[in-house]
Amino acid sequence: MAFVIAVAQRKGGAGKSTIAANLAAAYAEEGARVALLDIDPQRTLARWDELRGRSAKARPLHFEAPTGWRLPSVLDRLRRESDVVLLDTAPHDDSDARTAVRAADLVLVPLQPSPADLWSMDATLDLAKKEGRTLALVLNRAPASGRLLDQVTAQIAQRGLPLAGAALGNRTAFAQAFMSGLGAVEAAPKGVAAAEARALAAALRALQGR
Protein backbone atom coordinates (compact mmCIF):
# COMPACT_ATOMS: atom_id res chain seq x y z
CA MET A 1 0.00 0.00 0.00
CA ALA A 2 1.22 3.45 -0.90
CA PHE A 3 2.24 6.23 1.44
CA VAL A 4 -0.35 8.93 0.63
CA ILE A 5 0.75 12.53 1.17
CA ALA A 6 -1.71 15.40 0.68
CA VAL A 7 -0.04 18.79 0.32
CA ALA A 8 -2.57 21.28 1.64
CA GLN A 9 -2.62 24.89 2.82
CA ARG A 10 -5.33 27.50 2.28
CA LYS A 11 -2.76 30.23 1.77
CA GLY A 12 -2.21 30.71 -1.96
CA GLY A 13 1.39 30.56 -3.13
CA ALA A 14 2.76 28.84 -0.02
CA GLY A 15 4.55 26.30 -2.21
CA LYS A 16 2.14 23.35 -2.44
CA SER A 17 2.70 22.61 -6.14
CA THR A 18 6.47 23.18 -5.97
CA ILE A 19 6.76 20.81 -3.02
CA ALA A 20 4.48 18.14 -4.48
CA ALA A 21 6.43 18.14 -7.77
CA ASN A 22 9.82 18.10 -6.08
CA LEU A 23 8.87 15.32 -3.69
CA ALA A 24 7.48 13.29 -6.61
CA ALA A 25 10.78 13.65 -8.48
CA ALA A 26 12.81 12.86 -5.33
CA TYR A 27 10.85 9.66 -4.62
CA ALA A 28 11.08 8.65 -8.31
CA GLU A 29 14.85 9.09 -8.07
CA GLU A 30 14.86 6.54 -5.23
CA GLY A 31 13.16 4.09 -7.59
CA ALA A 32 9.72 4.31 -5.95
CA ARG A 33 6.54 3.96 -8.02
CA VAL A 34 5.19 7.48 -7.71
CA ALA A 35 1.71 8.77 -8.52
CA LEU A 36 1.17 12.53 -8.58
CA LEU A 37 -2.38 13.87 -8.55
CA ASP A 38 -3.30 17.44 -9.39
CA ILE A 39 -6.70 18.15 -7.88
CA ASP A 40 -6.37 21.94 -8.00
CA PRO A 41 -8.57 23.57 -10.70
CA GLN A 42 -5.61 25.88 -11.44
CA ARG A 43 -3.99 22.78 -13.02
CA THR A 44 -0.47 23.89 -12.19
CA LEU A 45 0.93 20.36 -12.08
CA ALA A 46 -1.00 19.31 -15.20
CA ARG A 47 0.97 21.94 -17.07
CA TRP A 48 4.18 20.88 -15.34
CA ASP A 49 3.51 17.30 -16.44
CA GLU A 50 2.94 18.41 -20.05
CA LEU A 51 6.37 20.05 -20.09
CA ARG A 52 7.81 16.98 -18.42
CA GLY A 53 6.90 14.85 -21.41
CA ARG A 54 9.42 16.84 -23.48
CA SER A 55 12.39 16.44 -21.15
CA ALA A 56 14.90 13.61 -21.39
CA LYS A 57 15.82 14.18 -17.73
CA ALA A 58 12.33 13.35 -16.40
CA ARG A 59 12.07 10.04 -14.56
CA PRO A 60 8.86 8.06 -15.03
CA LEU A 61 6.02 8.89 -12.72
CA HIS A 62 2.28 8.44 -13.00
CA PHE A 63 0.32 11.68 -13.35
CA GLU A 64 -3.45 12.17 -13.16
CA ALA A 65 -5.82 15.07 -12.58
CA PRO A 66 -9.01 13.43 -11.33
CA THR A 67 -11.80 15.55 -9.86
CA GLY A 68 -15.15 15.14 -8.15
CA TRP A 69 -16.72 11.69 -7.97
CA ARG A 70 -13.74 10.11 -9.81
CA LEU A 71 -11.21 11.10 -7.15
CA PRO A 72 -11.98 8.47 -4.46
CA SER A 73 -11.81 5.54 -6.92
CA VAL A 74 -8.61 6.84 -8.54
CA LEU A 75 -7.11 7.17 -5.06
CA ASP A 76 -8.12 3.61 -4.17
CA ARG A 77 -6.49 2.25 -7.31
CA LEU A 78 -3.28 4.27 -6.99
CA ARG A 79 -2.94 3.41 -3.31
CA ARG A 80 -2.72 -0.25 -4.39
CA GLU A 81 -0.49 0.29 -7.44
CA SER A 82 2.06 2.81 -6.12
CA ASP A 83 4.63 3.24 -3.38
CA VAL A 84 3.96 6.95 -2.90
CA VAL A 85 0.88 8.99 -3.86
CA LEU A 86 1.19 12.79 -3.73
CA LEU A 87 -1.80 15.11 -4.00
CA ASP A 88 -1.53 18.81 -4.81
CA THR A 89 -4.63 20.61 -3.55
CA ALA A 90 -6.30 23.97 -4.20
CA PRO A 91 -5.71 27.05 -2.04
CA HIS A 92 -9.35 27.25 -1.07
CA ASP A 93 -11.86 25.07 0.66
CA ASP A 94 -13.26 22.58 -1.80
CA SER A 95 -14.59 19.07 -1.53
CA ASP A 96 -11.67 17.53 -3.47
CA ALA A 97 -9.18 19.03 -1.01
CA ARG A 98 -11.23 17.58 1.85
CA THR A 99 -11.29 14.16 0.14
CA ALA A 100 -7.49 14.37 -0.21
CA VAL A 101 -6.98 15.19 3.47
CA ARG A 102 -9.28 12.35 4.53
CA ALA A 103 -7.41 9.86 2.31
CA ALA A 104 -3.94 10.98 3.37
CA ASP A 105 -1.54 9.13 5.63
CA LEU A 106 0.24 12.45 6.03
CA VAL A 107 -1.07 15.99 5.55
CA LEU A 108 1.87 18.20 4.62
CA VAL A 109 1.30 21.92 5.20
CA PRO A 110 3.87 24.20 3.58
CA LEU A 111 4.34 27.65 4.98
CA GLN A 112 6.66 30.48 4.23
CA PRO A 113 8.06 32.09 7.34
CA SER A 114 5.50 34.89 7.42
CA PRO A 115 2.56 35.81 9.64
CA ALA A 116 0.13 35.49 6.70
CA ASP A 117 1.08 31.86 6.11
CA LEU A 118 0.91 31.08 9.82
CA TRP A 119 -2.56 32.59 10.12
CA SER A 120 -3.98 30.96 6.99
CA MET A 121 -3.19 27.38 7.85
CA ASP A 122 -5.67 26.94 10.72
CA ALA A 123 -8.54 25.68 8.56
CA THR A 124 -6.28 23.00 7.07
CA LEU A 125 -4.95 22.03 10.50
CA ASP A 126 -8.47 21.82 11.94
CA LEU A 127 -9.61 19.51 9.14
CA ALA A 128 -6.53 17.27 9.48
CA LYS A 129 -7.09 17.04 13.25
CA LYS A 130 -10.80 16.36 12.87
CA GLU A 131 -10.01 13.53 10.46
CA GLY A 132 -7.30 12.17 12.76
CA ARG A 133 -4.59 12.55 10.11
CA THR A 134 -0.86 12.72 10.82
CA LEU A 135 0.29 16.26 10.21
CA ALA A 136 3.61 17.89 9.36
CA LEU A 137 4.37 21.52 8.68
CA VAL A 138 7.24 22.31 6.33
CA LEU A 139 8.98 25.64 6.04
CA ASN A 140 9.32 26.78 2.44
CA ARG A 141 11.48 29.63 1.10
CA ALA A 142 13.04 29.63 4.54
CA PRO A 143 16.19 31.63 5.22
CA ALA A 144 19.01 29.74 6.99
CA SER A 145 18.59 32.01 10.01
CA GLY A 146 17.04 35.28 11.13
CA ARG A 147 14.62 36.84 13.57
CA LEU A 148 11.45 36.16 11.57
CA LEU A 149 12.40 32.50 11.17
CA ASP A 150 12.99 32.26 14.94
CA GLN A 151 9.62 33.91 15.67
CA VAL A 152 7.73 31.63 13.31
CA THR A 153 9.38 28.43 14.58
CA ALA A 154 8.75 29.58 18.17
CA GLN A 155 5.03 30.05 17.40
CA ILE A 156 4.87 26.61 15.78
CA ALA A 157 6.54 25.06 18.83
CA GLN A 158 4.28 26.99 21.23
CA ARG A 159 1.24 25.55 19.50
CA GLY A 160 2.72 22.07 19.73
CA LEU A 161 2.59 21.63 15.94
CA PRO A 162 4.90 19.08 14.29
CA LEU A 163 7.49 20.64 12.00
CA ALA A 164 9.24 18.45 9.40
CA GLY A 165 12.92 18.02 10.11
CA ALA A 166 13.86 19.50 6.72
CA ALA A 167 13.00 22.80 5.05
CA LEU A 168 13.33 24.25 1.55
CA GLY A 169 15.25 27.46 1.02
CA ASN A 170 14.27 30.30 -1.30
CA ARG A 171 16.00 29.04 -4.43
CA THR A 172 15.47 29.96 -8.06
CA ALA A 173 16.57 26.39 -8.86
CA PHE A 174 13.09 25.19 -7.79
CA ALA A 175 11.30 27.60 -10.14
CA GLN A 176 13.87 26.98 -12.89
CA ALA A 177 13.38 23.20 -12.73
CA PHE A 178 9.59 23.67 -12.64
CA MET A 179 9.76 25.66 -15.92
CA SER A 180 11.10 22.51 -17.62
CA GLY A 181 8.64 20.14 -16.01
CA LEU A 182 11.31 18.78 -13.69
CA GLY A 183 12.10 18.49 -10.02
CA ALA A 184 15.34 19.96 -8.70
CA VAL A 185 16.79 16.43 -8.32
CA GLU A 186 16.41 15.97 -12.09
CA ALA A 187 17.33 19.46 -13.35
CA ALA A 188 20.38 20.01 -11.14
CA PRO A 189 21.00 16.80 -9.19
CA LYS A 190 24.12 18.11 -7.45
CA GLY A 191 22.62 21.42 -6.38
CA VAL A 192 21.52 22.60 -2.96
CA ALA A 193 17.83 22.58 -3.97
CA ALA A 194 18.12 18.91 -4.95
CA ALA A 195 19.73 18.08 -1.61
CA GLU A 196 16.91 19.89 0.21
CA ALA A 197 14.24 18.02 -1.77
CA ARG A 198 15.89 14.67 -0.97
CA ALA A 199 16.20 15.58 2.72
CA LEU A 200 12.51 16.50 2.88
CA ALA A 201 11.53 13.26 1.13
CA ALA A 202 13.58 11.29 3.68
CA ALA A 203 12.18 13.24 6.65
CA LEU A 204 8.61 12.46 5.54
CA ARG A 205 9.41 8.78 4.97
CA ALA A 206 10.36 8.65 8.63
CA LEU A 207 6.77 9.67 9.45
CA GLN A 208 5.26 6.83 7.41
CA GLY A 209 3.27 4.46 9.55
CA ARG A 210 3.08 6.83 12.53
Ligand X SMILES: Nc1ncnc2c1ncn2[C@@H]1O[C@H](COP(=O)(O)OP(=O)(O)OP(=O)(O)O)[C@@H](O)[C@H]1O
Enumerate binding residues for Mg ion (CB under 5 A): 16-17, 44
For ligand X, give the closer residue by CB, 73 or 170. 170
Residue list 37-76, contact with ligand X (CB under 6 A): 40, 42, 44
For ligand X, give the closer residue by CB, 77 or 98. 98
The nearest distance, CB 209 to ligand X, in angstroms, is 27
The nearest distance, CB 38 to ligand X, in angstroms, is 10
Residue 37: Cβ within 10 Å count = 27
175 binding ligand X? (CB under 6 A): yes
For ligand X, give the closer residue by CB, 7 or 85. 7
Residue 131 region by backbone torsions, left for phi larger than 0, else alpha for psi between -120 and 50, else beta: alpha
Burial bucket for residue 176 (CB in 10 Å: 0-12, 13-18, 19+): middle
168 binding ligand X? (CB under 6 A): yes
